[in-house]
Every structure is written in structure tokens, then in C-alpha cells.
Structure 1
Amino acid sequence: MHRFVLESVPNPEESREVARKAIIILKDFVVDENLLHDMDLVLTEGCSNVARHAYDKIKDCSRLELTIEIHPGSHIVFEIADWGKGLCSKSIDFSMPSPEAVGGRGMFIMSELMDTFELIKVKEKNIIKLTRKLKDNQWRKK
């Protein structure tokens, strides 16, 4: 197993940069470009949600943390964490919003592109845990 932790301040530019860095790491393990694109979309959505919704205003203690666990030959786990307001899982709508809706597609996209989607609260830490299984031909052979 390989584990990587990326941290940044939760603003739109930095959150996108965290997703980009994650994809650079993943390219050493994943050969499937379509899957990498899906993971980039998922991570960009998750990290930008933290930047937009987790904190009322950016403070010195506000942060975004992305943990990547790579289990070669099996699966990849992402944990997108913040210490802000958190999400109430009972109020989240995972269905696709109407075409006229301005937003609200992020949770739907993440839940559709990953095998599992969990919302976890550990003390003050809010975590979106996402897991994706990979087929043998999606892994980079070393």
C-alpha cells in the first residue's frame, strides 16, 4: 500500500492544485486515461466543495487535506477532509439536479464515478471517503 497526504488552504485555486498534484501521483500507478480523468473530476469537485462550503471565511487554521491510499492490483481510496461546518448526510441529495439548476451536481458526480461514497465525522474532522476498484488492465505494470 502507498499513502500520500496533500494539504492546502481551502480556496478555489489551491483546491484545484491539490487535485492536479493527486493526478500526477496517480499516473505512476494508473494507466487508464479515462479513469484518471474521472478521478480528476471527482477530486476537483470534492476539493472545491471544501473551498466553497466548509468554512465561512478563510482563517489561519482553515485547511483542506487529501489522503490517497493506493492498494496496487485492487483499489484506491481518497479521503477529502476539512475542519469546517461539515455536511449533514441526511440533507444531501445525490440525484442529478434539473438542467436549469446552477449547481448541486458535485455529490451526484462523485457518487456515480466512485464505487463507494461515505461521509465520516471524527471529532472536528469532516471526511468524504471515496473508493474505486480498478481492473487489472487499469494498473500500470512496473
Structure 2
Amino acid sequence: MDPLLRIDIKVMSTPSLVSVIRRIVSAALKEVGTSEECIDQAVLITGEACGNIVRHAYDKPSPYKVSLEINTDALVLEFMDWGKGFDTSTPPEDGHFGLSLISTIAPDAQIESVRGEYTLVRVCLPRG
């Protein structure tokens, strides 16, 4: 089944653009009648995932991709960078709460990373 809406954005990893991506996600979800709770969760996840990329993936601003797919009953968010990567089996250091928060909001979140190659965070949320 085709999605109601799919948006793919390639963006530079600068702090000021995180809020732009959050607003795009929020506006798209509002436009198709998504519940406020789902919008709040999606915007929070977007901020955390993009913020992690900006802070940890690269030593200088570099491109990453955000994808939003909205279906009738659910939405899928994907965040992909081609930066440093990390070992997903190692617990995060103190002060690194982003991925833990994402996993709390979306327990089925998929986090895939290969050191020195890429990181992919994929989240599926019911639209409510």
C-alpha cells in the first residue's frame, strides 16, 4: 500500500537545522490529521535523533538524511548518517540520553550502526 505522504530530507548536521526538521515533521503530521500525542512523540524523537547526529556523528557539519513516511494507521521515521558509527552493544556514556529516550517512547525502535560507516535509527509509531 502506498503511503499517504513520504518526505525525504537531506540536511547538514548543524544545530540550527534541527528545529527546522522538527517543524517539518510536525506540520506534515498535523496536515494529515495525526493525534497530538503522536505528533509530540514524533517531534521529540526527531529532535533527539537529529541532535545525536549533530553532536556525535561527525567532526564537522556533514549531510544526513531524515525520512518520514505516513500511512493510514502508523508513521515511520528514519534518521541516517554516514559518520563515526558506534557499538550498539555498549551502554551509552553518562549524559547520553537520546537513544534511551527514543527507545522509551518507541520500544520497537531499531538502531543499526557500524563503526566508521553509518548509523540508522528507525522508529514506527501508531498515528492514534
Q: Please say whether Structure 1 and Structure 2 have the same fold, judged by a TM-score greater than 0.5.
A: yes
Give the conservation status (yes or no) of the 8 Å contact 2:85–2:119.
yes
Q: Which moved more, 1:31-40 or 1:78-87?
A: 31-40
Q: Give the equivalent residue in structure 2 for 1:120.
A: 112
Partners of 1:25 and 1:87 in 2: how far apart? 31
Secondary structure of the equivalent of 1:39?
helix
Aligned residues: 124
Aligned partner of residue 52 in structure 2, secondary structure? helix
Cα distance in 2 for residues equivalent to 1:125 and 1:56: 14
Aligned AA (1:76)? L
Aligned with residue 43 of structure 1, among 38, 43, 46: 46
Partner of 1:70: 70
SS of equivalent to 1:51? helix
**Are residues 1:15 and 2:13 paired?**
no
CA offset at residue 80 of structure 1? 0.4
Where do residues 1-142 of structure 1 align in structure 2 (5 Å cutoff)? 1=3, 2-58=5-61, 62-73=62-73, 75-93=74-92, 103-121=95-113, 124-134=117-127, 138=128
Distance in 1 (alpha carbons) for counterparts of 2:17 and 2:81: 14
| One-letter amino acid matched to 2:83 | G
Q: What does the per-residue CA deviation read over 1:62-107, in whole Å, with 9 as the maximum and x for residues that have no partner?
A: 112100111112x1111101110113211144xxx9xxx6x22211
Quote the offset at 1:52 in angstroms: 0.5
Whole-Å separation in 1 of the counterparts to 2:110 and 2:79: 11
SS at match of 2:109: strand
- The alignment-based identity, stated in percent, is 25
1:34 and 1:67 mapped to 2: Cα distance? 20
Moved more, 124-133 or 75-84: 124-133
Q: C-alpha displacement at 1:35, in angstroms? A: 2.1
RMSD: 2.2
Q: Which runs of 4+ in 1 moved over 3 A?
A: none
Per the TM alignment, residue 121 of structure 1 is displaced from its structure 2 partner at its CA by 4.8
Following superposition, the deviation at residue 115 of structure 1 comes to 4.3
Distance 1:21 1:92 in 2: 31
